[in-house]
Chains A and B, each alone.
Chain A
Amino acid sequence: MPQTKLMDLEEAISTYIDDGDLIGIGGLSFWRKPIATCREIIRQKKKELSICTFVGGLDVDMLIAAGCVSEIRSSFVGMEVFGMAPNYRKAVQEASIKIIEETEASIALGLKASYLKVPFMPLKGIIGTDFPKIRKDIKEFEDPLGSGIKLMALPKIDLDVAILHVPYADEYGNGNVAGAVWLDDDMAKTAKKTIITCEKIVELNDMINLPGKAQLPMQTTKAVVKVPFGAHPTSCYDKYTFDALHIQKYMKIDFKDYKKKYINLDSHTQYLEEVGGSQMISNINLQTKNTSN
């Protein structure tokens, strides 16, 4: 049998995340973000991190507010219908963090180039925009095979660590996503180290029977941590949706107070109590009696 990778969150972050790392965050916007992991990164006062995520929200905003971040690569950072990401906006306007302006394609293809071990991937897009003016590392070129088509070369993105949250994982590092995978699989395929948090640990044999099986491969996984509601206040299909009431709270409260109340806590159990306990869980729970899944 392969080696077990089960450990607790504190050990996983202190062992596998170093100051200055390029961290890929899975999920999208308010959906399946590894927020428990982000809180642990904040507690451990990690510094100078570069963050790469397809669409950022609360994850990126929190890490910036806590002073863990020096650079952001994302196609969008916002709080959906709740408004702008306040700390992200402030940090960029004060130039206290660096932005590498990305699009959906530049991240998706950058990760793909990384695991295919090629320096770039071609895209039929971005041409005509101002991106080449601020991204000196992307370049227009003509199809070398002679079709005459103009393309854009997008550089590879080599992640040091991927942090991903999924509903199901086995102790050897296979992860199963019940809903949309987004770029989690690409991140897991190319990161030097992957840290998976999950709602539930399943047996290796049960993994084979889950729909979609393992989309996240065990090869790069270094740590598997069981954290029920580990994506809260974002969603984790098919367990729970995002906690709109908590996100409203986040938007209204100063981050220093937020951190004291919801991050600097002794345990995840205490966190779940602070954010509303069983009432909150019944609010966000998707697995009601009326649903069959």
Chain B
Amino acid sequence: MSEESKDYSIDEMMAVLMAREVRNDDVMIVGVATPMVWSAFTLAKLTNAPNAIYHYIMGNTFVFEPCQVSLLYLEMNTTRAYRFQNSGECTLESLPSDNLTTIEFFRPAQIDQYGNTNNICIGDWYKPKIRLPGCAGIADFSMFYSRGTFLYTPRHDTRRFVPKVDFISGVGFQNGNNPLCGGAGPQSVITNLAYLDFEERSKTMRLASLHPDIDIETIIKSTGFDLIIPNKIKNTKPPTKKEIKLLREKIDPLNIRKLEVLTGKEREELLSIIIEKELAMTNKIPLLLNS
């Protein structure tokens, strides 16, 4: 076991927690514009799940080899490296065989205590206060993944954690019911403050572990409904030095994953730096990484 790291940022903590969810026989769905998830899956490939397979939505391709995370050349990677390409409608099932399971991380704009999620709009659908981009395929798949669905948000606050979502575009445990369509329902929610799961009987969100240096009051204040708080509160196991080194030096040296966490000017500045660095590369094929 590698030593625990003391020097890590929240995007790294979240990527490490996501990577730890991946199993060796998983198909890992890489969505569009989710570089933190892509980093996490690649970390899993290099550590606990070397046989997991990427399924890039961007291309509908199945790829085995891990490569460095890229902003400009994602398509190069998914298109050059694939062995098998699904047709359009196969996005609907994402399951190449019964022997494999699927893992996908959804990032909701709103989430309730039963893990129902919303990526459509804030306010009434007919007169939205804020129109969001849309839910893409979340409404299609969220109910029948046999390993369930995995959720994350780098902004744990009462705007995201609400008693009732304005539009259900991803189905959780509805009102505390059993999952629909043979799926396992939501499994965990990884945030900048904590690792959350769902209590078996009530299907209600529960604090599973607090990240280091976060206190219980912050969690309670940042959640818009009553979280189940266990009597004995665990601390999240921090990233190891090895995990951090892999993320920073091999998997994502340009810090593309941080785009998912930063906002405003800071984010725009990082974006410009990433673009500039990638444009300066002479080799436009993303670097293959050895597992």
Contacts and interface: CB of A to CB of B under 8 A. Distances in A.
Interface of A: 28-29, 31, 54-55, 74-78, 80-82, 84-85, 88-89, 92-93, 95, 101-106, 108-109, 112, 123-131, 134, 150, 178-183, 185-186, 235, 237-238, 241-242, 244-245, 248, 283, 286, 288, 290-291, 293
Given A241-B72, A248-B272, A185 B88 contact: yes
Interface of B: 32-33, 35, 58-61, 71-73, 75-76, 78-80, 85, 87-89, 91-92, 120-121, 125-141, 143-144, 167-171, 174, 180-181, 259, 271-272, 275, 279, 282-285
B58 A31 contact: yes
Given A105-B137, A241-B76, A125 B181 contact: yes
A245 B275 contact: yes
Interface centre among B35, B129, B180, B283 (most CB of A within 10 A): B180
Interface pairs A-B: 3 shortest CB-CB: A78-B133, A104-B137, A128-B171
Contacts of A126: 139-140
Contact of B144 (A101, A124, A238): A124
Given A104-B140, A125-B143, A290-B284, A244 B32 contact: no
B139 A76 contact: no
B143 A81 contact: no
B135 A180 contact: no
Given A129-B170, A134-B125, A93 B130 contact: yes
Contacts of A129: 139, 168-171
Given A85-B133, A237-B76, A242-B72, 18 more contacts: A55-B32, A75-B134, A76-B133, A80-B32, A81-B71, A81-B271, A95-B127, A104-B140, A123-B140, A126-B140, A128-B171, A128-B174, A130-B169, A134-B126, A179-B59, A180-B60, A286-B76, A286-B284
Contacts of A82: 271
B contact face: mostly helix, strand, loop, or mixed: loop
Given A92-B128, A237-B76, A80 B33 contact: yes
A293 B271 contact: no
Contacts of B168: 128-130
Contacts of A88: 131
Contact of A104 (B92, B132, B275): B92
Given A80-B33, A81-B259, A248-B272, A104 B75 contact: no
B66 to A, nearest CB: 20
A293 to B, nearest CB: 7
B272 A31 contact: no
Contacts of B72: 241-242, 244
Nearest to B91: A104
A109 B61 CA distance: 19
Nearest to A90: B131
A83 to B, nearest CB: 9
5 contacts: A104-B92, A109-B89, A129-B168, A186-B88, A241-B76
B266 to A, nearest CB: 14
A100 to B, nearest CB: 11
A126 B272 CA distance: 38
Nearest to B285: A291
Contacts of B282: 288, 290
B75 A179 contact: yes
A127 B170 CA distance: 10
A125 B134 contact: no
Given A76-B135, A82-B271, A93-B128, A183 B88 contact: yes
Nearest to A78: B133
Contacts of A101: 120, 125, 134
Contact of A105 (B92, B128, B279): B92
Contact of A84 (B71, B133, B135, B283): B133
A54 B87 CA distance: 14
Contact of B139 (A85, A125, A235): A125
Contacts of B133: 76-78, 84-85
Given A104-B91, A288-B282, A291-B284, A180 B169 contact: no
A244 B274 CA distance: 10
A31 B92 contact: no
Nearest to B35: A81
Given A124-B144, A126-B140, A130-B168, A179 B271 contact: no
A31 B134 CA distance: 18
